[in-house]
A and B are shown apart, each in its own frame.
Chain A
Amino acid sequence: AQTVTQSQPEMSVQEAETVTLSCTYDTSESDYYLFWYKQPPSRQMILVIRQEAYKQQNATENRFSVNFQKAAKSFSLKISDSQLGDAAMYFCAYRSPSGNTPLVFGKGTRLSVIA
């Protein structure tokens, strides 16, 4: 079974600085999708970014980018120019190519942004 590990339960960053959240996963599959979701205090889970495993190019969405290292099974999220609104729980998730397996989540990293 696939597992997703987020080794940093909490992190903090100064406003306007850059922070990187770590995620590793375990799988024997060659094709899959990886996601970062953000859950602010309002509790709504918001999709931040998606990476297809067959794509070598790292995904980017505005201030959010990933460093996808397939061989190392690592999928880190970099947030540039951090803003107060970035404060949230961030979850890394794995989706198998099999349609019969659910999205697998890590335990999350709580990010604080310091003004």
Chain B
Amino acid sequence: KAGVTQTPRYLIKTRGQQVTLSCSPISGHRSVSWYQQTPGQGLQFLFEYFSETQRNKGNFPGRFSGRQFSNSRSEMNVSTLELGDSALYLCASSLGPTLERGTQYFGPGTRLTVL
């Protein structure tokens, strides 16, 4: 079975631009979660989607948004980029949101650099 895939792997943007990151979960997985990883803040939860519905959202400004499609693929969007948005963005998928089905498997991440 193919793992979680994320595209693009690397991105360079300038302040004020917007960016869209994509995540394709493992086949059969219906939950997708997004995390931001920085050296200073560590791993921070962004949001979680299940069956096209956002189930949970982390403490990030409204510039960060996401969505999930009917095929479980997910995208996250960051508008009006700031220097502090430079980070590794990780996507993880699981069968579902419940404990028994909630073991998360991660993609390789998208490295975003904001200049």
Contacts and interface: CB of A to CB of B under 8 A. Distances in A.
Contacts of B90: 45
Question: Which DSSP category, helix, strand, loop or mixed, fits chain A's interface?
Answer: loop
Interface string B79-115: 0000000001010100011110011111111010000
Contacts, number: 57
Contacts of A105: 42-43
Interface residues of B, number: 25
A97 B99 contact: yes
Contact of B45 (A32, A37, A102): A102
Interface residues of A, number: 24
Contacts of A44: 106-109
Contact of B99 (A33, A45, A102): A33
Contacts of A99: 50, 55, 96-99, 102
Interface in A83-112: 91, 95-97, 99-103, 105, 107-108
Given A32-B99, A45-B92, A102 B58 contact: yes
B11 to A, nearest CB: 14
A100 B49 CA distance: 10
Interface in A55-101: 91, 95-97, 99-101
29 contacts: A31-B99, A43-B108, A43-B109, A43-B111, A44-B107, A44-B109, A45-B90, A45-B106, A47-B103, A47-B104, A47-B105, A47-B106, A95-B102, A96-B99, A99-B50, A99-B55, A99-B98, A99-B99, A99-B102, A100-B97, A101-B56, A102-B58, A103-B33, A103-B92, A103-B102, A103-B104, A105-B42, A105-B43, A107-B42
7 closest Cβ pairs, A-B complex: A45-B106, A99-B97, A102-B45, A105-B43, A44-B108, A97-B99, A107-B42
